[in-house]
A and B are shown apart, each in its own frame.
Chain A
Amino acid sequence: MRELTSPRFREIARVKLADARVQRALDESVTRLRDHRLAAWSAEPELEELRRRGHEIRMRVVDDLDGHVARFREAVEARGGTTFLARSAEEATGYVADLCRRRGARLLAKSKSMVSEEIELNEAVEAAGTRVVETDLGEYILQLAGEHPVHIVAPAIEKTREQIAELFSRVEGRRVGDSLEELTAAARRQLRETFLAADVGVSGVNFGVVDTGSICICTNEGNGRMVSTLPKVHVAVMGLERLVPSTADLAVLLRLLGRSGTGQKLTVYTSLITGPRRPGDEDGPEELHVVLLDNGRTNLLRGRYREMLACIRCGACLNVCPVYRKTGGAAYGPVYSGPMGAVLLPLLVGLEQGRDLPHASSLCGACTEACPVQIPLHELLLDLRRDLVEQGVASRLERLSFQLWSLAWSTPLGYRLSTGLARRLQALAPLAGPGRAWASGRTLPRLGRRYRDRRR
């Protein structure tokens, strides 16, 4: 299985920081998304009330996750759908690959789904002999380029029009112009063929509705509707925690999702799908399969990190994070990034593997402020740092230095000696250790005389 986290946060971040084009693209896109959210939030007088209710609804699901999952599965099956609870990524991909094999599927059209990235669905399905085509425009571009998404809602923000034109030209075997109109028309042409020819459509799920057994899919391009309408078989993959009890609750979460992700009141297409095609329906898939993925999520249920399960994957926290805004998504890992990724990934894959991520934060709290369902993201990051130390994952040197620091500053004499020493040795700081890491991109602050001494 692909590692969900990157073991080389600093290394990748350094490359991205040095790339002026990436920095410009990142800055433009996250600023635009953030500004749109702020405008949409300030235009909604009930916003704080909605956030409070959103948090309450999602935590109600988390508090009785087993019960909600069981009732949701019953409701889906009562309407003719099939459900599968996958404990691991392998179980989930195995189910879909097997389904493709049994249906003799040659082509699978896939709309955007972070979960399918998490489980590496494409690789598993292609190994079973079914070709997979990504149909979200950004994901399609990345698939052609052989890369992975770098932002939850804007996957290809680092690609230029010229690069995209080259990728599209390769598909058509003739030159595609690099104007926005020509590129859009080419994508429409290329992907329309895919939708019409696909045997299986795979989508993600924004919310599952427990009472009605419905799945809600939000897209702006319409690919979510395409893959759930045209192929004979529709497979929806979702994290098992992405549920809301009722359609009334769905209304609250939908009002938060669009506004927080892109600043829209609603995404262009909000589809609520309840079961496969019924007698009397003129189109739609004959089979609906809903795959609910655990893959480490239920490990979060007990303890202080359970609030992370309320996340609705809007991406708002990414756009305000001073670390994400500079490093971009790739440094975090191939799937989740930004503050939500920095909290979620170490919890899913283990602290040892995700050890760099709790530090990818300035603890400024902007993420918590931007979260539509009030997850205290920066506090959870701080808690994770504490766990790193307590569980002995942090380096011995780091722990030793903090112990010495704590010891020195517990007496006035120790404090005076240590600050005096620091002032005398500050010229040496950029040469080694944390001082060197700091000084490689910034100027070290000069330590002046102590306030107390200056008054004398």
Chain B
Amino acid sequence: MSLVEEFAANAAAAGFTVHRGEPPRIEGAETSTALYGLAESGSVVLSSSQEPRGRSLLPDVHVTLLDEERILPGLAELFEALGDDLPTALSIVTGPSKSADIEQKLAVGVHGPREVHVVLRPPARSG
């Protein structure tokens, strides 16, 4: 399975709605651009050097744009790519905010976004 397909499967399993190409139009949603994606866990990696941290934290609905070329196998490759030059806040996000603190039942949207979307953008064709 390619990294892109592995990412898409794991992101969906983690609770992301996965889109290809075009971002969805959702009222009140805020949109981020991911620095990387992690195929192993279906996570998006967001950096405070690119955009405010609140953008992926405060809204009810959050959309992340991810270039397929930015998908890495997993955490080991992520930290290798980043080196020791880290932004103030690196957020690895894997699905919607959730909690099982009430009677062990899954509740979403406790503090962070209730609904999360990731939009996979294929590499631009040259020529």
Q: Is the CB of A135 within 8 A of B43?
A: no
Q: Is the CB of B97 within 8 A of A221?
A: yes
A188 contacts across to B, CB distance below 8 A = 109-111
Alpha-carbon separation in the docked complex, A229 to B42 (Å): 24
Chain A, Cβ-Cβ closest to B56: A225
Q: Is the CB of B110 within 8 A of A221?
A: yes
Cβ < 8 Å to B, chain A residues 240-285: 246-248, 250-252, 254-255, 262, 264-278, 280-284
Q: Is the CB of B111 within 8 A of A229?
A: no
A191 contacts across to B, CB distance below 8 A = 111
Q: Is the CB of B104 within 8 A of A161?
A: no
Alpha-carbon separation in the docked complex, A403 to B81 (Å): 62
Q: Is the CB of A284 within 8 A of B94?
A: no
Cβ < 8 Å to A, chain B residues 59-97: 74-76, 78-80, 82, 84, 86-97
Q: Is the CB of A161 within 8 A of B89?
A: no
Chain B, Cβ-Cβ closest to A28: B104
The 0/1 profile, CB within 8 Å of A marked 1, for residues 96-115 of chain B is 11111111110111111000
A180 on the interface (CB 8 Å rule)? yes
Could you say which of B19-27, B28-36, B45-53, B118-126 contacts chain A?
B45-53
B57 on the interface (CB 8 Å rule)? yes
Q: Is the CB of A229 within 8 A of B89?
A: yes
Alpha-carbon separation in the docked complex, A195 to B54 (Å): 12
Q: Is the CB of A274 within 8 A of B101?
A: no
A239 on the interface (CB 8 Å rule)? no
Alpha-carbon separation in the docked complex, A225 to B88 (Å): 12
Q: Is the CB of A283 within 8 A of B82?
A: no
Taking A268-B112, A283-B54 as contacts, is the C-beta distance between A154 and B104 under 8 angstroms?
Answer: yes
> Which residue of B54, B79, B88, B98 contacts A273 across the interface (Cβ within 8 Å)?
B88
Q: Is the CB of A184 within 8 A of B102?
A: yes
Q: Is the CB of B101 within 8 A of A248?
A: no
Taking A247-B79, A255-B75 as contacts, is the C-beta distance between A180 and B89 under 8 angstroms?
Answer: no
Q: Is the CB of A222 within 8 A of B111?
A: yes
Q: Is the CB of A214 within 8 A of B86?
A: yes
Q: Is the CB of A270 within 8 A of B10?
A: no
The 0/1 profile, CB within 8 Å of B marked 1, for residues 413-429 of chain A is 00000000000000000
> Which residue of A160, A192, A251 contacts B75 across the interface (Cβ within 8 Å)?
A251
Q: Is the CB of B53 within 8 A of A135?
A: no
Nearest CB of A to B36, in Å: 13
Chain A, Cβ-Cβ closest to B38: A266
A255 contacts across to B, CB distance below 8 A = 74-75
B94 contacts across to A, CB distance below 8 A = 264-270
Alpha-carbon separation in the docked complex, A25 to B48 (Å): 40
Q: Is the CB of B89 within 8 A of A248?
A: no
Q: Is the CB of A226 within 8 A of B86?
A: no
Q: Which of A137, A160, A220, A255 has the most CB of B within 10 A?
A: A220
Cβ < 8 Å to B, chain A residues 127-179: 135-138, 141, 154-157, 159-161, 164
Nearest CB of A to B105, in Å: 6
Alpha-carbon separation in the docked complex, A372 to B70 (Å): 30
Alpha-carbon separation in the docked complex, A32 to B105 (Å): 11
> Which residue of A183, A220, A283 contacts B97 across the interface (Cβ within 8 Å)?
A220
B74 contacts across to A, CB distance below 8 A = 251, 255
Q: Is the CB of B75 within 8 A of A154?
A: no
Q: Is the CB of B97 within 8 A of A271?
A: no
Chain A, Cβ-Cβ closest to B84: A212
Nearest CB of A to B55, in Å: 9
Q: Is the CB of B57 within 8 A of A268?
A: no
Alpha-carbon separation in the docked complex, A156 to B105 (Å): 12
A93 on the interface (CB 8 Å rule)? no
A35 on the interface (CB 8 Å rule)? no
Q: Is the CB of B88 within 8 A of A275?
A: yes
> Which residue of B10, B91, B102 contacts A161 across the interface (Cβ within 8 Å)?
B102
Nearest CB of A to B6, in Å: 12
Alpha-carbon separation in the docked complex, A248 to B80 (Å): 7
> Which residue of B10, B78, B97 contacts A265 across the interface (Cβ within 8 Å)?
B10
Chain B, Cβ-Cβ closest to A44: B40
Chain B, Cβ-Cβ closest to A228: B89
Alpha-carbon separation in the docked complex, A137 to B106 (Å): 12
Taking A266-B41, A269-B91 as contacts, is the C-beta distance between A211 and B104 under 8 angstroms?
Answer: no
Alpha-carbon separation in the docked complex, A264 to B99 (Å): 13
Q: Is the CB of B41 within 8 A of A284?
A: no
Q: Is the CB of A164 within 8 A of B102?
A: yes
> Which residue of A136, A181, A195, A247 contacts B84 across the interface (Cβ within 8 Å)?
A247
A211 contacts across to B, CB distance below 8 A = 84
Q: Which of A25, A32, A136, A268 has the most CB of B within 10 A?
A: A268
Nearest CB of B to A357, in Å: 26
- B residues near A (Cβ < 8 Å) are 10, 14, 40-43, 48-49, 51-54, 57, 74-76, 78-80, 82, 84, 86-105, 107-112
- Could you jot down 10 A-B contacts, CB within 8 Å? A164-B102, A184-B107, A184-B109, A248-B79, A251-B79, A262-B100, A265-B40, A269-B92, A270-B43, A271-B92
- A residues near B (Cβ < 8 Å) are 25, 28-29, 32, 135-138, 141, 154-157, 159-161, 164, 180-181, 183-184, 187-188, 191-192, 195, 211-212, 214, 220-223, 225-226, 228-230, 246-248, 250-252, 254-255, 262, 264-278, 280-284
